[in-house]
Structure 1
């Protein structure tokens, strides 16, 4: 038994086709969207796929393309049914002016609304191409007329126009066949249109609104128009020729076909519009939720920054007191401290200064991000600021057994910068270099004039920073992975973020590389003081 896969979102069409195909002896599988149809095509391997062009999920065009890509489904014949105009098979086609060119591969096509007779005939011709069918393949027309001569002449001309005509001389016989296989048009004598016939006609039209009704008038009925005139598609006067009846039927069916195709497209457009509205409402709801979460996150971030600032600010007082006490112990001449204890105090004092730099960096970074840190720009001697920084950090260098080598040109121009901020930048970069320098190594500090800027380099001789990680070293709280030998002590990843914000605020740039392909080298630039330029304040 042959299997046919029906894919259409119109459940009424699916029900009608499934019933007709099942009666014809086929096994039928159905799907209401393109994705489900593709899955069934892979699992069922049907002998024929019947599909509409307008489908939710995968469209008919996309579904045809997917079927052609798979070797298991590319040879399954495709039968298109659609209210849309379909291009000829196997020819290049552009669905829209700005769309890509596609080639539709299919074996048959019928426009909606469908003629069941034509549909079944095409299905048979695809599945059994060697079989020969003698009967007409056109649309079914039910002809009921008591006038034998008129009925025979109309029957003959309609068969010539490829209509499948079922002719009767009275109304009783056609009713059973009428319910089983509704015709496309019904031609009937006006004299036979009694109340019972009208009732039967209304019931059928309720299920098949595309049914056309043509009424044959005679000499007696010309003076009495039939009831329910608005339900009649055409009135044929007694003097009309049989060919005029055929033309009238063709016009009625074409008009009905166009109307039904418009109705189908309108329903599908309405469904798509409803889907768009639902999607829009969903996106709006998600946008409102994201907006709420964003406001909440901003509030939490503000609270976190406030709390961090308060904690850091409160740490400064006890930290200053602790450092003052240790400094007093090391400097008081009346205290006799063993050399080992003095070394421990010096290391503790160095660690305290490092922590003091960290707290100040965190506070100033918050001010920078909130545009609240004021820069006092003035002429600055870089060598003097560097010397002050090295002296302040000498205990740290001694504790980790590293030295600093500075190469500063004697004629280096004055910089245009905030001296306190510049000192903090240098100390943060030196602190970072100490962190990654092996024992008994040297940290290099270089300054070079380049146009209107001075380029400063602070380089260690550690393992360096991989190129793929260099863009993220200035991100807040970034901790790069390094070997255990290289990582002598840890940090929290705040100093480099502060350096970037401060350097860029003073008109320079900062980046990371390596010096002579060894270790990590941090470069930054600052503008030189031009002749006649005065100091100013920047916030």
Structure 2
């Protein structure tokens, strides 16, 4: 236990010497002051556990010193015993008013003085212990609240792999309830796959830095895949065989990284393919123009031009997809009446002969809350998909404009092409998904079309959905978009 520090304050050096000789053998650290100012300086420097304070001193008396101590937040709780020759009731009351804890009269009894000092110091230690315990309890409560509110799951697991504690997020990630297995590995094995398996063979031993342990819930028809990274958060202290385990949802990081790899591979492939026809055609013309007739040159040039247009389309797909969401709104907003002209222009560009636009009677002439460019991209992607997935490439497309609740409209684009499987419907809005593999065996475009549509619609505060038609073959895409206020 640390030695207690006592500050003695008296203007009489003989009294200070007596008090020092009396208390020092009890292994206290003693500091002495002969006036009030010196007492306050020593108190601030050494933070005593007790002050023995003479009342009658020239200049700043004991009452003023005690009052100054109580006014200092760092010293306000230091016990003060006042030593006084005054025996009147008024002086003692004044001492208690300024914050004195006890009084000892002069001349003082040595045994009584030692006993009172020992008692006050012991009570002060108890007070400090209680305050420290209260602070610890408050910090524990704060820490427990932070852990419970954390986006990460936390578990305490015993040496035999039993879950001793789980925070709210961990209970959500592992679907823990009263009936769940208490063994950690048994619990997660009911819902997740271990990846990579060899990293789990040594559980719960720490892994080399950078080596991950993952839990993977595979994708199903009704739920996307889900990834959890499992880390031993801290090493247990000596003698404690429990482990603190952190569970972190890394699904977005995993899928984003995978999408990036897919994007890089797709860009490399899709850029090189048209370049082959472009460079091949140009090289052929360059090397053999002298021996080719005009028809042959024109035919080879046509191949190169087609490759150039295809490359241009790939680049535009990428640029459109990467367009910042803030550009979706723009200032050139269109009215509902403008959609007819936009659809007709797109149909002409795509050489779709049969396109019909229908306005519901309740749709007024207000503007849609996104820019003309965004509407054009959205409708162009939907009509191009209708042509691409039609068995003969000649779809019948119907664009219907319907009123919706909450100041919104629905753009419904229906075609008579092939219907989609549940897997295709679930994946259609994902970047890089290319449904045409299932229909034609060919891969046209970056697989960004419907993902781009979804990005535009969601950024504008709308919704999008795709379903198979119930009245025949084909699909129906519904885009819900906000309108400008009345």
Q: Which of the five TM-score ranges fits, normalised by the shorter chain? A: 0.3 to 0.5
Which is higher, the Rg of structure 1 or of structure 2?
1
Alignment TM-score, normalising by the size of structure 1 = 0.34
Alignment TM-score, normalising by the size of structure 2 = 0.38
